[in-house]
Structure 1
Amino acid sequence: MQTTLGEQLLLLSLDDKSGVAREPANVAAAIAGAPLVELAIAGRIAVDGDIVSVTDSTPVGLPSLDDALSAIADYKKPGKTADWIEYLKKDAVAAASKGLVDKGLVREETKKVLGLFPVHRYPEADSSVEVAVLERLEAAVLHGEEPQEQTVGLIALLHGAGLAKLAFPAADKPLVEARMAVIAQGQWASPAVRQVIQAAQQALTAIVTTTVITSAIVGN
């Protein structure tokens, strides 16, 4: 079953039983960065000096990716990677949630808080895809196997957004993060794809860091 990187990130973040998302702010940013990575792998976009440009406007055939591609192609002036992540973040989680529900991987449950505000939860309905994703991640990060480009992209997104614990909750954190950094910066992806992956990872790190600082200031 084909799933997008955004859908895989959301799967990793959801508690299997309750359907509650862990680290929602960081996950939303990572999911928003995922289409950029996948469009680069598909040969549709490139990054030059952190400016995202379309190299091929042919649709990929996946709604979330084609919507992102169309937005980038139609925009009046070139935008930076971080700008596109912030823009795509508006609909990223909703699109990934819909994709998982449509594929039968999670089921949607809606409850009302205080009897007024609807809250959506997504308990797991089929674990096969998440198991396969975790196996790929463990093979690359824990066992040193050579990853494919999509796995490199997923690792870079997790690392950039500070989400390593979603995939490796019991592993040695410093060792895991060091290995993820090596993979994200390594030679497993083509130069053009690697540029986009690195730009997305750096943008995510900046966005997540800003969010943490802002939250701390507000909390005080």
Structure 2
Amino acid sequence: MAPLTLADELVLLAYDDTGVNRLGRPNLDYGLAGAVLLELALASRVEVVDDRLVVTDPTPTGRRVLDDALAEVTADDKRRRPKDWIGRLAKGLPDRVLSGLVDEGVLRRESDRVLLVFPRTRYPSPTGAEPVAETAARQRMVDALLSDGPVEARTAALLGLTRAVGLDRKLFRELPKERLKTRATEIAAGDWASAATKKAIEETQAAVMVATTVATTAAIITTTS
């Protein structure tokens, strides 16, 4: 099996052991779009220049979801901000990432109907237990949060991403809130990536946070009005 991408790991962390999305939509959609951009930044394919996302290397990564996004950004004649790309890349992304994990055997797809009427699709693991890859991703993040030393770039990026979509509060309930907040801030400020890469990641994480906040606010207004 090919190494998992940040988008793969985010999906696994977002879905509970019964195969239900606990992050909600469109938060997951925006989070995955951010994960794709973060992965491209870590792979030195994109940077942020004058607040606009630019392609610095159009060479394919060999991962379909990443390369489709890279090709789309490369083909666009207009330089756009990271937050503009979040909405564009989010469309249909969860289904594509989930399908990839199903093809790899990490998850399985189950379709049924709630109350015999409403269609539902779940994505539990084949064993019914937490996938090994999810456990590994979670442990990497916990180790980083409990340590005081430097953090590997992909782990730091994943931590920032889970924080941006509000998933950290669900994942790390056993950790003291102050420790979680303080350490996450330290990691975000740490020297774990090149300046150009880190800027792209920070801009992307901020864009994801804005998108999810707007979506949540809109949902609350719709529900209460």
Q: Tell me the TM-score range normalised by the shorter chain.
A: over 0.9
- Greater Cα offset, 199-208 or 122-131: 122-131
Could you tell me the TM-score, scaled by structure 1's length? 0.93
Once residues 118 and 72 of structure 2 are traced to their aligned partners in structure 1, the CA distance between those partners, rounded to angstroms, is 31
1:11-160 paired onto structure 2 within 5 Å? 11-16=12-17, 18-25=18-25, 26-113=27-114, 115=116, 117-125=118-126, 127-160=131-164
Q: For the residues of structure 1 that align with 2:70 and 2:118, how far apart are their CA atoms?
A: 33
Deviations 1:141-167 (A, max 9, x none): 122342211111111111111211243
Equivalent in the alignment of 2:216: 212
Answering whether residue 200 of structure 2 is matched by residue 196 of structure 1, we say yes
Structure 2 unmatched ranges of 5 or more: none
* RMSD (CA atoms): 1.6
User: Matched residues, percent identical?
Assistant: 36
Match of 1:176 among 180, 183, 199: 180
Aligned residue type for 2:113:
K
CA positional deviation for 1:50: 2.3
Deviates more, 1:81-90 or 1:173-182: 173-182
Contact 2:83 2:208 (8 Å CA) reproduced: yes
Counting matched residue pairs gives 219
Alpha-carbon distance, 1:205 to partner? 1.5
1:219 maps to amino acid: T
Distance change in 2, residues 1:181/1:92 (3 Å): farther
In 1, the alpha carbon distance for the partners of 2:142 and 2:175 equals 10
